[in-house]
Amino acid sequence: MTGRTIRLRPGADLDGFRAAVRRLVHDGVAPDAVTWIAGEAQSLFPEDGPEAGPAPALALPRAVAALIPAVVMHRDPERYGLLHRLVRRVADGERHIAEVASDPLVHRLHLMRKAIGRDLHKMHAFLRFRRAGTGEGGRERFAAWFEPEHHILAEAAPFFSARFPSFDWSILTPDGSAHWDGRALSFGPPGRREDVPEQDAFEAGWTDYYSSTFNPARTNLAAMRAEMPKKYWHNMPETAAIPGLVRAAGQRVGAMIERAPEAPAKRVPARALAAMAAQEPASLEALNAVIRASEPLVPGATQAVLGEGPLGAAIAFVGEQPGDQEDLQGRPFVGPAGQLLARALREAGIDRDRSYLTNAVKHFKFEMRGKRRLHQSPTAGEVAHYRWWLDRELAFVAPRLVVALGATAVLALSGRQIPITRARGPAAFAGKPFDGFITVHPSYLLRLPDAARPEAYEAFVGDLRRAALLAAEPAGAVG
């Protein structure tokens, strides 16, 4: 037998192709000897006669088996012949051919598969249903017209049945139609555009929504045309609004630039903002009342953890934020890092009860790991949010020296991110009415390996001794 003609169903006849290619490989028929025709299937091999049975299955590499269903959906009339060539080469021993991207056949087939992916994306994104009356049982019925580039209707339809299961719908295309009745998908003959309503009441609301989310500052006509080709415009109600939005883009951008910037709502919780706007607290007690009433910037904290210590303390310590134990007890520096700090203060000759201890951030930020709440470092934006409270808190306490424990405290006091190793020691925080000192946070010591911890702890105690000496001097002694 020198040649064969294979007639498959119109569109993407995956089952017919699989049956045919098994027989072709089994019979050793060369790809050049086969003519593939996509039409009404009558017999795969008329010349074989009725005695020709199914051929044994082919064991194909996973990459080839995944490529075939996508390429079968392509509209290229040569798709079946190209896939036959690929399968034949695999059968002849080139098991890894689909992974050789530089091979001309493989390159062409991968381009076809990518085209199918783009077409599916556009159908999912650009198809618009319109109300078309009621279906069985009084259920709402909708219809949509779409013109895909390739034979993707059967592949795309399950996306819509999963997304819109509660109403009946039909998708009409020039190649076929898909229908959903709330229970099952079915497919039928091609549809006509005039069988889909031109518009419905829902489209006005959708157009308003699209207009309200249109960002004039990011208008890029070339990108818009590439993502939304003109052939889809007549199916999409929002396209009627785009010309006006584009014409007004320049004016709207100018208005955005002139408008005064506003802090995002999530950076200024409503209750805290209202309390701050109502009055400037006249005392530390009044300030603490505002903090207690405020919402945590990051939800989940049990309570605000306030500073602790006497007004007029010579030295104040500012840490990062409360930890798990601090959040539960409502007191600063009572967890493992706080206990280490208390020990170091004693060795440095500093009376904790006569010092003031607080944190740059007043609420505990954490993530759950099983049943444990693990600390998460605050962001620069979160530190900036709490700076209002820290500045006023220290103004009421009026210490001679403020010790910044760690990088977050330095950021809160200076407004800058400064490496602790470079800035460790006496410091001047610009615009502050007190002298400064920078050292590590005690939690840093807890994270060190056991062998390195003793030396680092002694250096930390040494920093605290230096800070105590500076706190005993008149304000402004730090250069």
pLDDT (0 to 100) of residue 126 = 83
- For 418-465, the pLDDT digits (tens) are 889 888 999 988 888 899 999 999 999 999 999 999 999 999 999 999
Dihedral sign of CA atoms 409, 413, 419, 425 in order: negative
- For 111-170, the pLDDT digits (tens) are 999 999 999 988 988 888 888 877 666 677 889 999 999 999 999 999 998 888 888 999
pLDDT above 90 coverage of the chain, percent: 52
pLDDT (0 to 100) of residue 479 = 41
Residue 475 has pLDDT above 60, yes or no: no
pLDDT (0 to 100) of residue 266 = 47
How big is the chain by its Cα radius of gyration, in Å? 36
CA-nearest of 374, 364, 353, 380 to 305 is: 364
pLDDT (0 to 100) of residue 323 = 92
Burial class (CB in 10 A: 0-12, 13-18, 19+), 457: middle
Q: Provide the pairing of β-strand 4-8 with 34-38.
A: parallel
- For 392-428, the pLDDT digits (tens) are 999 999 999 999 999 999 999 998 888 898 889 999 8
User: Do 12 and 72 meet the contact criterion of CB atoms below 8 Å apart?
Assistant: yes
Buried b (16+ CB within 10 A) or exposed e, 235-271: bbbbbeebeebeeebeeeeeeeeeeeeeeeeeebbee
pLDDT (0 to 100) of residue 329 = 92
pLDDT band, residue 224 (cuts 50/70/90): low
Measured in degrees and rounded to the nearest 5, phi and psi for residue 137 equal 70, 15
Residue 289 has pLDDT above 50, yes or no: yes
Dmax (CA) of the chain: 110
Full DSSP string of 56-95: PPP---HHHHHHHHHHHTS--TTHHHHHHHHHHHHHTT-T
Residue 110 has pLDDT above 50, yes or no: yes
pLDDT (0 to 100) of residue 6 = 93
- For 298-326, the pLDDT digits (tens) are 777 889 999 999 999 999 999 999 999 99
**Global pTM?**
0.48
- Which DSSP symbol is given to 179? E
Q: Which residue has the tokens 């939005």?
A: 245
Dihedral sign of CA atoms 263, 264, 267, 269 in order: positive
Average pLDDT score over residue span 458-479: 79
pLDDT (0 to 100) of residue 411 = 94
- Which DSSP symbol is given to 31? G
- For 25-67, the pLDDT digits (tens) are 999 999 999 999 987 554 455 444 334 567 788 889 999 999 9
Alpha-carbon distances, residue 246 vs 106, 159, 229 (angstroms) = 42, 32, 17
pLDDT (0 to 100) of residue 50 = 39
Q: Where are the alpha helices (DSSP H) in 127-267?
A: 153-163, 202-213, 221-227, 242-247, 249-258
Cα–Cα distance measured from residue 462 to residue 179, given in angstroms and rounded to the nearest whole number = 79
- The CB density around residue 163, as the number of other CB atoms within 10 Å, is 8
Copy the structure tokens of residue 340. 């280490």
User: Residue 35, SS3?
Assistant: strand
- For 226-280, the pLDDT digits (tens) are 556 666 556 665 565 566 666 666 666 566 555 545 444 444 455 555 545 455 6
Cα–Cα distance measured from residue 354 to residue 356, given in angstroms and rounded to the nearest whole number = 7
- For 171-207, the pLDDT digits (tens) are 999 999 999 988 899 999 999 988 888 765 555 555 5
- For 378-393, the pLDDT digits (tens) are 988 889 989 989 999 9
- For 160-174, the pLDDT digits (tens) are 988 888 889 999 999
Average pLDDT score over residue span 1-11: 84
Q: Provide the pairing of β-strand 140-145 with 130-134.
A: antiparallel
Q: Domains in the chain, start-ordered, CATH in brackets?
A: 4-122 (no CATH), 127-195 (no CATH), 202-258 (no CATH), 269-471 (3.40.470.10)
